[in-house]
């Protein structure tokens, strides 16, 4: 009888011991979307992103000089975007001293805040609670996959070319580990700027010799401008929107994004579109 009780207890405890350990030093692998993730995307490149008209307007009127403002110089990447940034990653874990189960993961990148992912079944704060760059994240196990739900994000961006993401967005991630490789599938749902959920995957590889250095960012006066001036472009005045289309010989309408541009069937529509402008310069 005692033996049966011990075996039953071990079987009940198995899921806790079977939890995947994501802790470690992870190096980004730029096998996909390297031009976007490292040097940054071209202005006007919204292809394949399910944005709506409001997001397109924000992107068209965005001026990269806004990043010279003191408020922007040390601004961290948000939880939904930082996976795409050119930064190494450290994940650490909190373990309950009694049950010895993982109660939280901490994720930190070079240019980010400490992001806590809770696994202790705590509820999310009310809608009016403070929003942060990391948001508020809870998680549950789906077999060996950790599914993370994040709310209370500050307004951020989908891409570093002006495409916005509102503070009403939610983020769902699936953390998947295969040996020394980590894949994260991130799904952003935004009722303000997205017509459909936006899905991206990102890969990292375990690096035993890596160390995430400190980020002692300091604010300086990069540009001498009158107080209160915010760099921007008025609607219809952005002279750079055609560069991506011209340089890569892509019909301009296709670069404008939207849900339709995400799907393979869109290739048939591309064939019927007009070619880019003739004689366009490749200079940037």
What is the tens place of the pLDDT at every residue in 236-253?
A: 999 999 999 999 999 999
Residue 21 has pLDDT above 80, yes or no: yes
Per-residue CA distances from 85 to 13, 22, 120, 204, 224 (Å): 38, 19, 29, 12, 29
Q: Which residues contact 267 (CB under 8 A, 6 or more apart)?
A: none
Range among 81-85, 111-115, 118-122, 280-284 with highest mean pLDDT value = 118-122
Can you tell me the distance from the alpha carbon of 230 to that of 233, in angstroms, rounded to the nearest whole number? 10
Mean pLDDT of 208-225: 88
User: What's residue 37's pLDDT?
Assistant: 86
User: What's residue 2's pLDDT?
Assistant: 54
Distance of CA 8 to the CA centre of its chain: 42
Mean pLDDT of 152-180: 97
Can you tell me the distance from the alpha carbon of 183 to that of 168, in angstroms, rounded to the nearest whole number? 26
Across-strand partners of 118? Answer: 104, 138
Phi and psi of 53, rounded to 5°? -65, -35
Question: In CATH, what number does 24-32+67-206 get?
Answer: 2.40.128.20
pLDDT band per the 50, 70, 90 thresholds, residue 165? very high
Phi and psi of 271, rounded to 5°? -60, -25
User: What's residue 18's pLDDT?
Assistant: 56
pTM over 0.75: yes
Phi and psi of 245, rounded to 5°? -60, -45
């Amino acid at each position: 009888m005692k033996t049966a009780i011990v075996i039953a207890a071990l079987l009940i405890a198995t899921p806790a011991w079977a939890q995947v350990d994501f802790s470690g030093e992870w190096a980004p692998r730029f096998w996909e979307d390297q031009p976007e993730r490292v040097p940054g995307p071209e202005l006007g490149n919204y292809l394949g992103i399910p944005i709506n008209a409001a997001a397109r307007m924000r992107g068209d009127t965005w001026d990269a000089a806004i990043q010279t403002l003191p408020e922007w110089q040390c601004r961290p990447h948000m939880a939904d975007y930082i996976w795409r940034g050119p930064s190494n990653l450290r994940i650490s874990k909190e373990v309950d001293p009694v049950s010895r189960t993982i109660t939280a993961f901490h994720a930190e990148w070079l240019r980010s805040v400490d992001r806590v992912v809770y696994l202790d079944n705590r509820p999310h704060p009310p809608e009016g609670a403070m929003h942060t760059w990391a948001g508020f994240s809870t998680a549950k196990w789906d077999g060996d996959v950790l599914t993370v739900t994040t709310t209370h994000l500050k307004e951020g961006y989908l891409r570093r070319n002006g495409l916005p993401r509102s503070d009403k967005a939610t983020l769902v991630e699936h953390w998947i580990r295969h040996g020394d490789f980590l894949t994260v599938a991130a799904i952003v749902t935004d009722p303000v700027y997205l017509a459909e959920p936006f899905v991206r995957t990102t890969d990292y590889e375990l690096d035993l010799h890596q160390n995430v250095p400190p980020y002692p960012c300091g604010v300086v006066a990069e540009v001498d401008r009158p107080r209160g001036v915010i760099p921007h472009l008025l609607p219809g005045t952005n002279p750079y929107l055609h560069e991506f289309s011209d340089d890569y010989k892509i019909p301009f309408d296709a670069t404008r994004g939207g849900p339709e541009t995400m799907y393979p069937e869109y290739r048939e529509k591309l064939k019927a579109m007009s070619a880019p402008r003739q004689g366009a310069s490749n200079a940037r």
